[in-house]
């Protein structure tokens, strides 16, 4: 399976409409890929909190329209990163959109873990409550994607749940700050190793709202090997994934079978 990660640069001087058009064009250029992945909140910027209310949109809003058309034109599976969703009751969510090669919206995922420690996203956004997987098929490239977003990467139990639901490829769009880039790389590799799955982690580049972004989107295989890593600027990574490697790794080193869940927590002394 050929996967392309588009590391979008979020420039505060570029309008959201302009970035949508530019990103849609980049998606169309990936015709021939099987899966294309975009970063978290790339239309507005993950730290541009003051713009969330103004740029919030319904799931079927302008980003949906642009990305659905781009996915259909390129005939690719598209994880379109995430948007600031405003639901019918006016609540905000950090919501990912996944499109089929026909341009149909097949899944949404509302980010479960909100970053900010009672500030920013943690106070402005509502939390998602459902784990989401996506069966991906086409020309013998059947697999299951498990969806997570940015700060979710720090919570291994979420990924265990995705693996138990059948995930073989874990997709993590992010707007990760440069000052914690070492954690980004470390956690992406850890989630791959402990779950014996591919991790496709796509981050934003640039600086917005005064926060320098990490870039360094990364693809990690089920044994923890880094197959590709971007630099700090806008860039596209294209990687061929051997989907059979997931099952081979799990058979050759069957650590997942040795999990012991439900043990009682020992009393503190």
Q: What percent of the chain has pLDDT over 70?
A: 96
Burial pattern 74-103, b for ≥16 Cβ within 10 A else e, equals bbbbbbbbbbbbbeeeeebbbbbbbbbbeb
pLDDT tens digits, 46-69: 999 999 999 999 999 999 999 999
Banded pLDDT at 262 (limits 50, 70, 90): low
Tokens of 28: 């169309």
pLDDT tens digits, 193-237: 999 999 999 999 999 899 999 999 999 999 999 999 999 999 999
Banded pLDDT at 268 (limits 50, 70, 90): low
| Cα–Cα distance, 267 to 269 (Å, whole number) | 6
- Residue 116 has a pLDDT of 93
Rg of the chain taking only CA atoms, in angstroms: 18
pLDDT tens digits, 75-114: 999 999 999 999 999 999 999 999 999 999 999 999 999 9
Tokens of 94: 């950090």
Q: State how far the alpha carbon of 19 is from the alpha carbons of 11, 25, 62, in Å.
A: 9, 10, 12
- Angle formed by the axes of helices 156-164 and 181-195, to 10°? 30
C-alpha angle 227-251-145 in degrees, rounded to nearest 5: 50
Assess whether pLDDT exceeds 70 at residue 263: no
- Residue 139 has a pLDDT of 67
- Residue 260 has a pLDDT of 84
Tokens of 43: 């239309």
Banded pLDDT at 179 (limits 50, 70, 90): very high
Residues with catalytic function:
40, 111, 150
pLDDT tens digits, 115-173: 999 999 999 999 999 999 999 987 667 899 999 999 999 999 999 999 999 999 999 99
Mean pLDDT score across all residues of the chain: 95
Q: What percent of the chain has pLDDT over 90?
A: 93
- Residue 261 has a pLDDT of 75
Containing 173, the helix (H) or strand (E) segment is strand 169-174
- Residue 39 has a pLDDT of 98
List Cβ neighbours of 151 (8 Å cut-off, separation of 6 or more): 111, 113, 114, 115
């Amino acid at each position: 399976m050929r996967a392309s990660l588009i590391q979008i640069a979020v420039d505060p001087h570029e309008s959201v409409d302009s970035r949508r058009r530019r990103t849609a064009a980049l998606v169309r250029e990936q015709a021939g890929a099987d899966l294309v992945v975009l970063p978290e909140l790339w239309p507005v910027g993950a730290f541009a909190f003051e713009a969330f209310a103004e740029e919030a949109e319904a799931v079927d809003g302008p980003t949906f329209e642009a990305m659905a058309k781009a996915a259909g034109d390129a005939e690719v599976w598209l994880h379109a990163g995430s948007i600031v969703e405003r639901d019918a009751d006016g609540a905000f969510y950090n919501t990912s959109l996944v499109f089929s090669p026909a341009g149909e919206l097949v899944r949404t995922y509302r980010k479960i873990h909100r970053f900010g420690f009672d500030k920013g996203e943690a106070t402005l956004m509502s939390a998602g409550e459902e784990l989401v997987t996506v069966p991906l098929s086409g020309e013998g490239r059947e697999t299951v994607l498990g969806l997570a977003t940015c700060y979710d990467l720090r919570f291994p139990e979420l990924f265990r749940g995705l693996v138990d639901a059948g995930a073989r490829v874990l997709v993590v769009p992010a707007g990760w700050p440069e000052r914690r880039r070492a954690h980004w790389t470390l956690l992406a590799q850890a989630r791959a190793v402990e779950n014996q799955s591919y991790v496709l982690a796509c981050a934003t580049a640039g600086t917005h709202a005064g926060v320098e972004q990490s870039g360094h989107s990364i693809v990690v295989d089920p044994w923890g090997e880094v197959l590709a890593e971007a630099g700090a600027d806008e860039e596209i990574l294209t990687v061929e994934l051997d989907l059979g490697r997931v099952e081979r790794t799990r058979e050759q080193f069957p650590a997942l079978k040795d999990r012991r869940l439900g043990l009682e927590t020992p009393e503190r002394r």
